[in-house]
Amino acid sequence: MPGGSVTSVLTGFHHVTLNVTDLPRARAFYEGVLGLEVDQDFPGEKLRLRIGETGRLVLRPPLPGTPSGERFSEHRIGLDHLAIGVSDRGELEQLAEVLRRNGVAADLHHDPLGPAVVTFRDPDNIQWELFEQT
């Protein structure tokens, strides 16, 4: 890649890893509520779930030394939120309803001039956004 741009060879995210406070609870949310499929399960160590055709979400229990009771906050340096595309507005509205039926506060925002978006938080307080692909 001499003289070339790094961005010319990037193909997208391969995976995102989240440290979670309770791996079974996180699995119940991501697999049970959001319907993500398990790609690989390493019991007690980590869980890899599919997002779309090529993306993966990896869930991992707290690393040694993590303070007890620690929760995610976008007010620290690092991750603010995660956003994933959804193929159309109808599917986005269905996902918002599934989240609500499962007790998850999900806000659906309709922008007449742009894509619709659903915002919600996972059990560890990580904010997710589902965006209508336009």
CA nearest to 119, candidates 91, 90, 89, 99: 99
Q: Indicate where the chain has its CATH 3.10.180.10 domain(s).
A: 12-62, 80-134
Over residues 96-120, the mean pLDDT reads: 91
Half-sphere exposure of residue 9, counting CA atoms within 13 Å on the CB side? 6
| Stronger pLDDT, 126 or 13, i.e. the higher one | 126
Whole-number average pLDDT of the chain: 89
Task: Evaluate if residue 112 carries a pLDDT over 90.
Answer: no
CATH of 80-134, one of 3.30.465.10, 3.30.750.24, 3.40.50.300, 3.10.180.10: 3.10.180.10
Q: What is the pLDDT of residues 29-86, one digit of tens each?
A: 999 999 999 999 999 899 999 998 889 999 999 888 888 888 888 888 888 999 999 9
What architecture does CATH give domain 12-62? Roll (3.10)
